[in-house]
Chain A
Amino acid sequence: MSQAPNLKESPSQTAGPYVHIGCTPNFVGISGVYEEDAGRGMLSDETKGERIHIRGRIFDGAGDIVKDGLIEIWQADAEGLYNSPDETRGTADPAFPGWGRQPTDLERGDFVFDTIRPGRVPASDGRMQAPHISLWIVARGINIGLSTRLYLADEAEANAQDPVLASIADPMRRETLLAVREGDGFVFDIRLQGDRETVFFDV
């Protein structure tokens, strides 16, 4: 029997305060190298589904806004299909990549994603999960990227059935994963510490 080599994952290090140079160079004025920053736009006219606008900020333990962060999102299309070769249930909307990347604003600290309301995706046991967006957050002072999920507060029925939300014992903590409708979009603030610390997952 062949024993697979047992290598260890390269250990993580902070993205540091200048992550933009590598991940969103145009955003920090390094133009002429990449035509556009990867993950900046997720939508085109052909993209199917309900447009949603998400904005938020990241707060540290002192309540200060993190202004050097970078957030990536990964989500299913409107039908609940991932735009990935590992998706075997069907073919995802070719006009929706499912992946987006945005920096927090260098002065104000807010981040914005324009995307679509995701469809439902099954959990590993086949139960349906509520519509959700996976987030991955890096910044100076974050030694290893933080994984969390965004759920939409207006999906109350689906949220009540969601196995991941159900795995969070404290209902107050569960609420940290709900994006709430405000004006023309949803607001999703991320708290790294404090009494409303966002739930982060060991994925």
Chain B
Amino acid sequence: MADSQKELGAAFNKRDRDWHPAADTPAYRSTILRSPKQKLVMLEQSLSETTGPVFGQNAIGALDHDLIQNFAQPGESPIGERIIVHGHILDENGRGVPNALLEVWQANAGGRYRHKNDSYLAPLDPNFGGCGRLLSDENGYYSFRTIKPGPYPWPNGGNDWRPAHIHYSLFGSGFAQRLITQIYFEGDPHIALCPILNSINDPKAIDQLVARLDMEHTVPMDIRAYRLNMILRGRDSTMFENRMEGN
């Protein structure tokens, strides 16, 4: 027990900052004035980084994971392609992360966000809010239902269109694992053109954000499934090995 406690509190692997986008990627113009210029200061992790908030199932409403229903008027549903997005939330050691809070937000099928600062021509959908959340199950699996978001144009100095995407935020067990990123969909021609997505250098890293059509979990005559695994930082695996040998 003492060993597994130790493992719980173990430090996280160093973040591979070459795998993530750099702070300053001028093709995505908003980064120019919002990227720190000084080098990050290395911080030796303490409990302040290795611990983090825990969320209980009682904080999550019954329809929170169902964007098709959670804002719709009774008996109605939003316009667009019905999809399930699902997969496994893992850490870098390949272990499922149970009880991870996943929050998602997105534009509607026309590419319009329900937000006062979004004035895109495409109309709001009275039956679509665009937010959802869930906790991963005891093995780290997640699943939510939504409408496939539409691509949308954005002011970046040219003719830039975002690929269809769902934003997401993930909590693991430590505050140093906090992550916000985006889900894309395979086959979208905008993926290759997007300055935000191409702020990531390695094509393999980009590929890690692209959900695949999953016919196995597609429900006939009802809803198509896309599958994507999400990976959080892992805790020091030497600690993990020690525990394995200690057992």
Residues facing A in B191-222 (CB within 8 A) are 196-197, 199-200, 204-206, 208-209
When distances are taken between beta carbons in the complex, the residues of chain B under 8 Å from A99 are 52-53
A28 near B196: Cβ-Cβ < 8 Å: no
Contact among A25, A74, A132, A192 for B34, CB-based, below 8 A: A192
A16 near B45: Cβ-Cβ < 8 Å: no
A192 near B20: Cβ-Cβ < 8 Å: no
Asked whether any CB of chain A lies closer than 8 Å to the CB of B173, the reply is yes
Residues facing A in B127-183 (CB within 8 A) are 129-133, 167-169, 173-176, 178-182
Please give me the residue from chain B that is nearest to A29 by CB atom.
B116
Contact among B14, B232, B240 for A4, CB-based, below 8 A: B240
Interface centre among A4, A122, A138 (most CB of B within 10 A): A4
Known pairs A8-B19, A11-B200; A141 contacts B208 (CB<8 A): no
When distances are taken between beta carbons in the complex, the residues of chain B under 8 Å from A61 are 32-34, 37
Chain A interface residue number, banded: 35 or more
Q: Roughly how many angstroms separate A101 CA and B192 CA in the complex, as a whole number?
A: 34
A136 near B175: Cβ-Cβ < 8 Å: yes
Q: Roughly how many angstroms separate A13 CA and B113 CA in the complex, as a whole number?
A: 18
Q: What is the minimal beta-carbon distance from B126 to any residue of chain A, in angstroms? A: 13
Asked whether any CB of chain B lies closer than 8 Å to the CB of A14, the reply is yes
When distances are taken between beta carbons in the complex, the residues of chain A under 8 Å from B31 are 141-143
When distances are taken between beta carbons in the complex, the residues of chain A under 8 Å from B90 are 7
Asked whether any CB of chain B lies closer than 8 Å to the CB of A95, the reply is no
B38 near A197: Cβ-Cβ < 8 Å: yes
B37 near A197: Cβ-Cβ < 8 Å: yes
1/0 contact string of B14-43 vs chain A (CB within 8 Å)? 111101111101001011111111101111
B46 near A123: Cβ-Cβ < 8 Å: yes
Q: Roughly how many angstroms separate A146 CA and B205 CA in the complex, as a whole number?
A: 20
A→B interface (CB under 8 Å): 1-2, 4-23, 25, 28-30, 32-35, 38, 60-62, 64, 66, 68, 72, 74-76, 82-88, 97-99, 106, 121-125, 129, 132, 134, 136, 138-147, 149, 163-164, 167-168, 173, 192-193, 197-203
User: Which 9 A-B residue pairs are closest in the complex by CB-CB distance?
Assistant: A22-B105, A141-B30, A5-B94, A141-B34, A99-B53, A84-B51, A61-B33, A202-B40, A143-B21
Given contacts A8-B19, A11-B20, A141-B31, 6 further A-B contacts (CB under 8 A): A12-B181, A18-B118, A74-B53, A74-B175, A99-B53, A199-B41
**Could you give 21 example pairs across A and B, Cβ below 8 Å?**
A11-B20, A12-B20, A13-B196, A15-B167, A19-B167, A20-B115, A21-B105, A21-B113, A22-B131, A30-B131, A33-B61, A60-B34, A61-B32, A74-B52, A84-B52, A86-B174, A97-B53, A121-B47, A132-B48, A143-B22, A192-B33
